[in-house]
Chain A
Amino acid sequence: NAGVTQTPKFRILKIGQSMTLQCTQDMNHNYMYWYRQDPGMGLKLIYYSVGAGITDKGEVPNGYNVSRSTTEDFPLRLELAAPSQTSVYFCASSYSIRASADTQYFGPGTRLTVL
Protein backbone atom coordinates (compact mmCIF):
# COMPACT_ATOMS: atom_id res chain seq x y z
CA ASN A 1 0.00 0.00 0.00
CA ALA A 2 1.21 3.48 -0.87
CA GLY A 3 -0.93 5.07 1.87
CA VAL A 4 -1.63 8.74 1.24
CA THR A 5 0.11 10.29 -1.75
CA GLN A 6 0.23 13.96 -2.69
CA THR A 7 1.32 15.73 -5.84
CA PRO A 8 3.15 17.92 -6.53
CA LYS A 9 5.77 18.05 -3.77
CA PHE A 10 6.70 21.65 -4.54
CA ARG A 11 5.09 24.42 -6.53
CA ILE A 12 5.62 28.10 -7.08
CA LEU A 13 2.64 30.15 -8.23
CA LYS A 14 2.20 33.73 -9.24
CA ILE A 15 -0.49 35.82 -7.58
CA GLY A 16 -3.84 35.17 -9.22
CA GLN A 17 -2.93 31.82 -10.74
CA SER A 18 -4.91 28.71 -9.95
CA MET A 19 -3.87 25.16 -9.24
CA THR A 20 -5.08 21.87 -7.87
CA LEU A 21 -3.28 19.91 -5.20
CA GLN A 22 -3.86 16.21 -5.65
CA CYS A 23 -4.39 13.71 -2.86
CA THR A 24 -5.01 9.99 -3.23
CA GLN A 25 -5.33 7.25 -0.64
CA ASP A 26 -5.44 3.52 -1.23
CA MET A 27 -6.68 2.42 2.19
CA ASN A 28 -10.39 2.66 1.35
CA HIS A 29 -10.84 5.31 4.02
CA ASN A 30 -14.10 7.21 4.04
CA TYR A 31 -12.70 10.28 5.74
CA MET A 32 -10.21 12.64 4.18
CA TYR A 33 -8.81 16.00 5.30
CA TRP A 34 -6.79 18.92 4.06
CA TYR A 35 -4.58 20.87 6.47
CA ARG A 36 -2.22 23.75 6.02
CA GLN A 37 0.87 24.17 8.15
CA ASP A 38 2.42 27.57 8.63
CA PRO A 39 5.72 28.02 10.50
CA GLY A 40 5.17 28.08 14.24
CA MET A 41 1.41 27.70 13.83
CA GLY A 42 0.73 23.98 13.87
CA LEU A 43 -1.86 22.54 11.51
CA LYS A 44 -5.14 24.15 10.58
CA LEU A 45 -8.00 22.18 9.01
CA ILE A 46 -9.10 23.60 5.64
CA TYR A 47 -11.74 21.13 4.48
CA TYR A 48 -12.71 17.58 5.18
CA SER A 49 -14.86 14.91 3.60
CA VAL A 50 -16.87 12.12 5.17
CA GLY A 51 -17.33 10.22 1.94
CA ALA A 52 -17.69 10.54 -1.81
CA GLY A 53 -19.85 13.54 -2.65
CA ILE A 54 -19.79 15.00 0.88
CA THR A 55 -17.46 17.76 1.99
CA ASP A 56 -17.48 20.33 4.77
CA LYS A 57 -15.53 23.37 5.83
CA GLY A 58 -12.85 23.29 8.44
CA GLU A 59 -11.26 26.12 10.35
CA VAL A 60 -9.70 28.05 7.42
CA PRO A 61 -11.65 27.32 4.20
CA ASN A 62 -11.55 30.76 2.55
CA GLY A 63 -9.76 30.79 -0.79
CA TYR A 64 -10.03 27.03 -1.30
CA ASN A 65 -12.42 24.57 -2.84
CA VAL A 66 -12.62 20.80 -2.69
CA SER A 67 -14.48 17.97 -4.34
CA ARG A 68 -14.79 14.26 -3.60
CA SER A 69 -16.01 12.31 -6.59
CA THR A 70 -14.38 9.04 -5.53
CA THR A 71 -13.39 7.43 -2.24
CA GLU A 72 -9.72 7.57 -3.21
CA ASP A 73 -9.27 11.16 -4.36
CA PHE A 74 -9.70 14.47 -2.56
CA PRO A 75 -8.25 17.36 -4.60
CA LEU A 76 -7.82 20.85 -3.17
CA ARG A 77 -8.31 23.76 -5.54
CA LEU A 78 -6.86 27.26 -5.23
CA GLU A 79 -8.68 29.55 -7.64
CA LEU A 80 -6.87 32.87 -7.19
CA ALA A 81 -3.60 32.29 -5.41
CA ALA A 82 -2.56 34.87 -2.84
CA PRO A 83 0.69 35.24 -0.88
CA SER A 84 -1.24 34.34 2.29
CA GLN A 85 -1.67 30.87 0.84
CA THR A 86 2.05 30.20 0.93
CA SER A 87 2.20 27.18 3.19
CA VAL A 88 2.77 23.46 3.41
CA TYR A 89 -0.37 21.50 2.66
CA PHE A 90 -1.04 18.08 4.12
CA CYS A 91 -3.70 15.62 3.12
CA ALA A 92 -4.79 12.95 5.58
CA SER A 93 -7.26 10.10 5.69
CA SER A 94 -8.84 7.86 8.29
CA TYR A 95 -11.30 5.01 8.58
CA SER A 96 -13.33 6.83 11.20
CA ILE A 97 -13.81 10.54 11.71
CA ARG A 98 -13.42 9.94 15.39
CA ALA A 99 -9.77 10.08 16.32
CA SER A 100 -10.66 7.96 19.33
CA ALA A 101 -11.44 5.13 16.95
CA ASP A 102 -8.78 5.53 14.30
CA THR A 103 -5.57 7.26 13.40
CA GLN A 104 -5.30 9.88 10.70
CA TYR A 105 -2.68 8.93 8.13
CA PHE A 106 -0.82 11.85 6.61
CA GLY A 107 0.68 12.35 3.19
CA PRO A 108 4.18 13.81 2.75
CA GLY A 109 2.91 17.32 2.01
CA THR A 110 3.00 19.89 -0.80
CA ARG A 111 5.10 22.99 -0.28
CA LEU A 112 3.43 25.92 -2.08
CA THR A 113 4.90 29.37 -2.55
CA VAL A 114 2.86 32.23 -3.99
CA LEU A 115 4.88 35.17 -5.29
Chain B
Amino acid sequence: AQSVTQPDIHITVSEGASLELRCNYSYGATPYLFWYVQSPGQGLQLLLKYFSGDTLVQGIKGFEAEFKRSQSSFNLRKPSVHWSDAAEYFCAVGDDKIIFGKGTRLHILP
Protein backbone atom coordinates (compact mmCIF):
# COMPACT_ATOMS: atom_id res chain seq x y z
CA ALA B 1 0.00 0.00 0.00
CA GLN B 2 1.11 3.50 -0.69
CA SER B 3 1.91 5.59 2.35
CA VAL B 4 3.90 8.57 3.50
CA THR B 5 5.41 9.01 6.94
CA GLN B 6 6.60 12.28 8.39
CA PRO B 7 8.09 11.25 11.72
CA ASP B 8 8.29 14.75 13.20
CA ILE B 9 5.03 16.48 14.12
CA HIS B 10 6.76 19.67 15.25
CA ILE B 11 10.24 21.02 14.60
CA THR B 12 11.72 24.18 16.06
CA VAL B 13 14.82 25.85 14.66
CA SER B 14 16.45 29.22 15.15
CA GLU B 15 16.33 31.78 12.40
CA GLY B 16 19.40 31.39 10.21
CA ALA B 17 19.93 27.77 11.16
CA SER B 18 19.76 24.90 8.71
CA LEU B 19 16.66 22.75 8.37
CA GLU B 20 15.91 19.16 7.44
CA LEU B 21 12.40 17.74 7.43
CA ARG B 22 12.12 13.98 7.13
CA CYS B 23 9.84 12.01 4.84
CA ASN B 24 9.68 8.27 4.23
CA TYR B 25 7.41 6.68 1.67
CA SER B 26 6.07 3.34 0.59
CA TYR B 27 5.12 3.07 -3.07
CA GLY B 28 4.82 0.13 -5.41
CA ALA B 29 6.36 1.64 -8.50
CA THR B 30 8.67 4.51 -9.32
CA PRO B 31 7.58 7.15 -6.86
CA TYR B 32 6.48 10.62 -7.75
CA LEU B 33 7.31 12.69 -4.67
CA PHE B 34 6.29 16.16 -3.60
CA TRP B 35 6.73 18.68 -0.85
CA TYR B 36 3.99 21.22 -0.16
CA VAL B 37 3.93 24.14 2.26
CA GLN B 38 0.87 25.51 3.99
CA SER B 39 1.13 28.93 5.58
CA PRO B 40 -1.39 29.75 8.32
CA GLY B 41 -4.88 30.21 6.92
CA GLN B 42 -3.77 29.36 3.40
CA GLY B 43 -4.07 26.48 1.00
CA LEU B 44 -1.17 24.27 -0.01
CA GLN B 45 1.58 25.47 -2.30
CA LEU B 46 3.94 23.15 -4.16
CA LEU B 47 7.58 23.60 -3.13
CA LEU B 48 9.15 20.97 -5.35
CA LYS B 49 8.61 17.59 -6.95
CA TYR B 50 10.64 14.59 -8.04
CA PHE B 51 9.84 12.22 -10.87
CA SER B 52 13.13 10.95 -12.21
CA GLY B 53 16.68 11.95 -13.01
CA ASP B 54 18.82 13.96 -10.64
CA THR B 55 18.07 12.87 -7.10
CA LEU B 56 18.66 16.36 -5.71
CA VAL B 57 15.70 18.56 -6.56
CA GLN B 58 15.63 22.33 -6.27
CA GLY B 59 12.42 24.10 -5.38
CA ILE B 60 11.06 27.51 -4.65
CA LYS B 61 11.95 29.68 -1.65
CA GLY B 62 15.45 28.18 -1.41
CA PHE B 63 14.31 24.65 -0.56
CA GLU B 64 15.77 21.45 -1.91
CA ALA B 65 15.04 17.76 -1.40
CA GLU B 66 17.04 14.62 -1.96
CA PHE B 67 15.54 11.35 -3.13
CA LYS B 68 17.24 8.28 -1.67
CA ARG B 69 15.74 5.10 -3.07
CA SER B 70 17.75 2.83 -0.76
CA GLN B 71 16.27 4.57 2.28
CA SER B 72 12.81 5.26 0.77
CA SER B 73 13.29 8.85 1.82
CA PHE B 74 12.71 12.28 0.37
CA ASN B 75 13.95 14.76 2.96
CA LEU B 76 13.47 18.49 2.58
CA ARG B 77 16.33 20.85 3.38
CA LYS B 78 17.10 24.52 3.57
CA PRO B 79 20.54 25.90 4.49
CA SER B 80 19.27 28.94 6.37
CA VAL B 81 15.68 29.42 7.50
CA HIS B 82 13.84 32.71 7.68
CA TRP B 83 11.01 33.63 10.06
CA SER B 84 8.64 33.54 7.07
CA ASP B 85 9.34 29.81 6.66
CA ALA B 86 7.22 29.06 9.72
CA ALA B 87 4.44 26.91 8.30
CA GLU B 88 3.27 23.34 7.97
CA TYR B 89 5.04 21.14 5.46
CA PHE B 90 3.54 18.12 3.78
CA CYS B 91 5.33 15.36 1.96
CA ALA B 92 3.24 13.53 -0.64
CA VAL B 93 3.54 10.59 -3.02
CA GLY B 94 1.51 9.50 -6.00
CA ASP B 95 0.47 10.54 -9.44
CA ASP B 96 -3.22 10.38 -10.36
CA LYS B 97 -4.05 10.04 -6.68
CA ILE B 98 -1.81 11.89 -4.27
CA ILE B 99 -1.31 10.62 -0.73
CA PHE B 100 -0.27 13.21 1.81
CA GLY B 101 1.72 12.76 4.97
CA LYS B 102 0.36 14.10 8.24
CA GLY B 103 2.55 17.15 8.11
CA THR B 104 5.39 18.71 10.09
CA ARG B 105 4.82 22.07 11.69
CA LEU B 106 7.92 24.26 11.60
CA HIS B 107 8.46 26.86 14.30
CA ILE B 108 11.17 29.50 13.97
CA LEU B 109 12.89 31.04 16.99
CA PRO B 110 14.05 34.65 16.56
> Chain A interface (Cβ within 8 Å of chain B)?
4, 40-45, 58, 90, 92, 97-100, 103-104, 106-109
Q: Once the chains bind, are B9 and A100 in contact (CB under 8 Å)?
A: no
Taking the closest CB of chain B, its distance from the CB of A29, in whole angstroms, is 15
Q: Does more than half of chain B's interface fall in helix, strand or loop, or is it mixed?
A: loop
A41 CA to B88 CA, complexed, in Å: 12
B17 to chain A, nearest CB (A): 25
Question: How near does chain B come to A45, taking the closest CB pair, in angstroms?
Answer: 7
CB-CB under 8 A from A4, the residues of chain B are 43
> Looking at the complex, which one of B9, B42, B49, B90 makes contact with A43 (CB distance below 8 Å)?
B90
Residues of B bordering A, CB below 8 Å: 4, 9, 32, 34, 41-46, 49, 51, 90, 94-98, 100-103
Q: Bound state CA distance, A40 and B10, in angstroms? A: 10
Q: Are B103 and A42 in contact (CB under 8 A)?
A: yes
With a CB–CB cut-off of 8 A, which chain B residues contact A43?
44, 90, 100
Q: Which of A40, A41, A104, A108 contacts B98 (CB 8 A)?
A: A104
Asked if A100 and B32 make an inter-chain contact with CB atoms under 8 angstroms apart, the answer reads yes
Q: Which residues of the other chain, A, contact B97 by a CB distance below 8 angstroms?
A: 45, 58
* A100 neighbours in B (Cβ, 8 Å): 32, 49, 51, 95
